[in-house]
Amino acid sequence: MNKSFWKKKLGLYCSFKLSKDDIILAFKLQPMCMIASEKKIKKLMGFFVNELKLKPFMISKNPNILLLSLEKRIIPRCSVLQLMMSKDAIKKNVSLLYALRMTEKMFVKRYVGKYMNVIPKVVEALQGKIQFQGFPIELKTNN
């Protein structure tokens, strides 16, 4: 990675209020976060910071989430959690970062499989057919 490329990525992450120390921590934990496209970084960081209200330093502590697909994984999982919370099927203190990081098999087992007979739309939410509207409260992010 050349110096100008590195500076460009630093500037992009800094625009989302990540400190240089936060960016270096993220890079140490997941070096691939620096080679994601600018478009992907803007989309993901914008969603995490503006829609999910994640604190930037929490993203730097969990940089693997910067490698996930917004459309195929993050938004559908958020839609599942939103739907389940609206039906009081899960506690409001669920860890968002943990739910995003867990394997597909584990997520389906924990959040979809258990409830698909009670809340049939949970399958549609996971398939991306239900739009994410935001969470009613700030979710726990310390995992």
- What is the spatial distance between Cα 82 and Cα 16, in angstroms, rounded to a whole number? 25
Q: Smallest Cα–Cα separation from 84: which of 52, 117, 53, 122? A: 122
DSSP state of 114: T
Q: How far apart are CA 118 and CA 89, in angstroms?
A: 9
Q: CA–CA separation, 27 vs 29, rounded Å?
A: 5
Give domain limits for the chain.
Answer: 3-67, 70-126
Spans of the chain, pLDDT less than 50: none
32 exposure class (CB count in 10 Å sphere: 0-12, 13-18, 19+) = exposed
d(CA 32, CA 30): 5
The owner of tokens 């969470």 is: 135
What is the structure's pLDDT at 102?
A: 95
Helices (H) and strands (E) in the chain, counts: 8, 0
